[in-house]
Amino acid sequence: MARGKLIEDALTRSVIGAFYEVYRELGFGFLEHPCSLAMDMELQSRGHSVRREFPAVIRYKGNELCEQRLDMVVDNRLVVEIKSAATLPPTAIRQLYNYLRATDFEVGLVLHFGPEAKFYRQILTNDMKVKRHKP
């Protein structure tokens, strides 16, 4: 990858654009479920494949620990975590980071449908994950 080029740049731009479109229409005050449904519709209208409540296996020392449901996976490459509380929980970005750490996904977005539309991008490449687990 060339220095300065973002991983999944075009995909994340498209998802962020969809997020702002949905936010313009719905605004603040809905729970996560309708925001997620609207994001699903908007992303599909933009030609993306969307899997909501994506089942991801969490492993511990190579053993299957449990299954965790990710809010959304777009084009089988991008994890999307949707939050709609007035303030973003302090653990939201770390939650996304842990999802990336525990899976083969490398890029994720937290989309905050709060009083002001905000997004947070998280990257954890698979080569970084391999280094992290070596003794």
pLDDT value of position 51: 97
Domains in the chain, number: 1
Q: Does residue 59 register a pLDDT over 90?
A: no
pLDDT value of position 130: 62
Q: What is the mean pLDDT of the chain?
A: 90
Residue 1 belongs to some domain of the structure: no
CA quadruple 10, 12, 18, 20: dihedral positive or negative? Answer: negative
Domain that holds residue 57: 9-133
User: The domain spanning residue 42 has which CATH number?
Assistant: 3.40.1350
Q: Does residue 30 register a pLDDT over 50?
A: yes
pLDDT value of position 1: 45
Report pTM. 0.88
Check residues 3 and 55 and name the one with the higher pLDDT: 55
Residue 3 belongs to some domain of the structure: no
Check residues 65 and 110 and name the one with the higher pLDDT: 110
Local confidence band at 60 (pLDDT 50, 70, 90 cut-offs):
confident
Q: Does residue 134 register a pLDDT over 50?
A: no
Distance of alpha carbon 15 from alpha carbon 50, whole angstroms: 11
Q: Please report, to the nearest 10 degrees, the dihedral formed by the alpha carbons of residues 53, 10, 15, 52 taken in order.
A: -10
